[in-house]
Amino acid sequence: MKPDVEDGSFRKDVSVEQTLIYPADVRFNSIRIGTVTLDEVGDNPTWREQPAVRSGRAGEWNRDFITRYPGMTAALTDTIAPVNEARKIRSVVERQTRR
């Protein structure tokens, strides 16, 4: 699905309700202070309608510039965890549909 965005833009501001137009298998949340936390996302009934949130495939995303390898390793490890979990779930679904 291609979002309706202006040419050259990589994002679109939407309300929580509008996010349901774009169902996501994995959701990333910024770790910056002042942003919605993963706990707040999980507590919101509208967010819980998203497949990624409903199935627990939501993770944190560090948007800060990281200047050292240990910091980058931690950031990438935290970011990739929900993606790896999504693959595991998909493979289970594929096995069930092949039966």
Q: Where are the alpha helices (DSSP H) in the chain?
A: 38-43, 51-54, 69-98
**What is the DSSP secondary structure assignment for residue 44, as one 8-state letter?**
-
Interatomic CA distance for residues 34 and 41, integer angstroms: 13
Whole-number CA gyration radius for the chain = 16
Domain boundaries along the sequence of the chain:
17-98
Q: Residues with Cβ < 8 Å from 94, sequence gap 6 or more? A: none
Q: What is the pLDDT along the chain (99 residues), one digit of tens a residue?
A: 565 667 777 677 788 898 888 888 888 888 888 888 889 988 999 999 988 888 888 888 877 767 787 878 887 888 788 888 776 555 555 555 665
pLDDT at 43: 92
| pTM as predicted | 0.60
